[in-house]
């Protein structure tokens, strides 16, 4: 996009891309799935979110574990997500979510998802990030030129049922084996032990981190900026926009420059996703910002 790396204009400060979003489907336990999805789009619009990059984790626990979705659950979830992204273009893009324990199914889902316009690969907690089963997935991501979003649990002091959660140390091992692949370490705010993640990935330039998660500790973003820099941080919200809004408001109090805030809110996303992924969404947001507002 022309002018992408010019100095930030006032209207560009208000642009936001949510790189870690989720939606619900008719196949989940929520009867209010449609209302939930619409509320996310509406609240996101008020916050300045011009695009939600989203995934669906199987049936969200209805008929297989959320973090260990069965192929029978994950295929319709990905199909629904891709259909929804197409219907909501350009304000929604799709990750293709996979469970690495089912290698043949995973690679087929990635191929089909990319053919339908998916912009990245989503890994939950079906296998530790440094497991050899993830190598084929990381290689596929490099081939397609898309990032991998890896769920990371920052408070893992024991094993939990129905998931094989990873931390930043394990993701760094995978990233070292696949330097051509960009890995998005999910939600540095995902638990109480977030501080150890920063040194774990500091020297891994192909690992970037999103700011999503349930934690909103003061200093969390500041420390991440100190260790890896704003060029490797991306704003995100995860399941709800609540703590995402808190972190969005916190950016102005970290000492970050307007250019750095724009980088974290949307420019870094433009860089790590395939070229042109967000052109239409950013153009639509800028056009809307240029329209005169009526006086009520």
pLDDT, averaged across the chain: 90
In a domain, 295, yes or no: no
pLDDT attached to residue 162: 80
pTM of the model: 0.93
Domain membership of residue 3 (yes or no) is no
Query: What confidence category does residue 192 fall into, taking pLDDT thresholds of 50, 70 and 90?
Result: low
Higher pLDDT, 74 or 11: 74
Residue 296 has pLDDT above 80, yes or no: no
What pLDDT is stored for residue 90 in this prediction? 98
Residue 295 has pLDDT above 50, yes or no: no
7 in a structural domain: no
Tokens 């642009």 — which residue? 15
- Give me the pLDDT at residue 187, please: 87
* Residue of higher predicted confidence among 108 and 6: 108
| pLDDT for the residue numbered 71 | 98
- Residue 24: domain span: 13-290
Residue 4 in any domain: the answer is no
Q: Which of 265, 231, 260, 263 is nearest to 248 (CA)?
A: 265
Sheet containing strand 233-234, edge to edge, reads 16-22, 49-55, 92-98, 120-123, 148-150, 183-185, 207-210, 233-234
Average pLDDT of 107-121? Answer: 98
Is there a domain that residue 8 lies in?
Answer: no
CATH number for the domain spanning 211: value is: 3.20.20.140
6 pLDDT band, cuts 50/70/90, is very low
Three-state DSSP at 124 gives: coil
Number of domains in the chain: 1
What φ, ψ does residue 77 adopt, rounded to 5°? -65, -45
Give the other-Cβ count within 10 Å of 250's Cβ: 17
Could you tell me if residue 2 is inside a domain? Answer: no
Q: For residue 293, what pLDDT is reported?
A: 43
Predicted pLDDT of residue 3: 36
Say if 6 falls within a structural domain.
Answer: no
What pLDDT, on the 0 to 100 scale, is given for residue 215? 75
Residue 294 pLDDT greater than 70, yes or no: no
Q: What is the pLDDT of residues 202-226, one digit of tens each?
A: 999 999 999 998 777 778 899 999 9
Q: Residue 290: which pLDDT band, with cuts at 50, 70 and 90? A: confident
Q: Which has the higher per-residue pLDDT, 214 or 134? A: 134
- Select from 107, 72, 75, 113 the least CA-distant residue to 93: 113
- Tell whether 5 is covered by a domain: no
**Cα–Cα distance list, 195 to 189, 216, 239 (Å):** 10, 13, 22
Question: Residue 10: left if φ>0, alpha if ψ -120 to 50, beta else—which one?
Answer: alpha
The model's pLDDT over 137-189, given as tens digits with 9 standing for 90+, comes to 999 999 999 999 999 876 666 777 788 888 899 999 999 999 999 999 998 87
Question: Which residue's structure tokens are 């209010």?
Answer: 32
């Amino acid at each position: 996009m022309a002018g992408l790396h010019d100095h930030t204009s006032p209207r560009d400060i208000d642009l936001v891309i949510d790189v870690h979003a989720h939606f619900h489907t008719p196949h989940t336990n929520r009867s209010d799935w449609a209302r939930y999805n619409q509320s996310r789009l509406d609240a996101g619009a008020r916050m300045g979110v011009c695009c939600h990059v989203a995934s669906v984790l199987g049936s969200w626990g209805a008929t297989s574990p959320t973090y260990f979705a069965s192929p029978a659950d994950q295929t319709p979830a990905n199909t629904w997500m891709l259909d929804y992204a197409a219907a909501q273009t350009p304000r929604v893009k799709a990750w293709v979510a996979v469970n690495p324990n089912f290698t043949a199914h995973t690679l087929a889902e990635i191929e089909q998802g990319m053919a339908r316009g998916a912009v990245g690969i989503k890994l939950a907690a079906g296998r530790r990030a440094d497991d050899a089963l993830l190598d084929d997935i990381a290689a596929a991501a490099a081939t397609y030129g898309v990032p991998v979003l890896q769920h990371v649990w920052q408070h893992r002091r024991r094993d939990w049922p129905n998931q094989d959660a990873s931390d930043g140390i394990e993701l760094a091992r995978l990233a070292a084996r696949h330097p051509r692949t960009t890995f998005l370490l999910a939600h540095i705010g995902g638990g109480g032990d977030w501080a150890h993640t920063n040194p774990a990935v500091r020297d891994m330039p192909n690992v970037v981190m999103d700011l999503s998660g349930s934690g909103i500790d003061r200093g969390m973003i500041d420390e991440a900026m100190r260790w890896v820099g704003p060029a490797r941080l991306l704003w995100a919200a995860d399941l709800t926009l609540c703590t995402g809004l808190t972190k969005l408001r916190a950016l102005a109090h970290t000492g970050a420059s307007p250019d750095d805030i724009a980088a974290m809110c949307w420019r870094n996303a433009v860089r790590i996703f395939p070229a042109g992924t967000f052109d239409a969404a950013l153009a639509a947001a800028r056009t809307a910002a240029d329209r005169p507002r009526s006086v009520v």
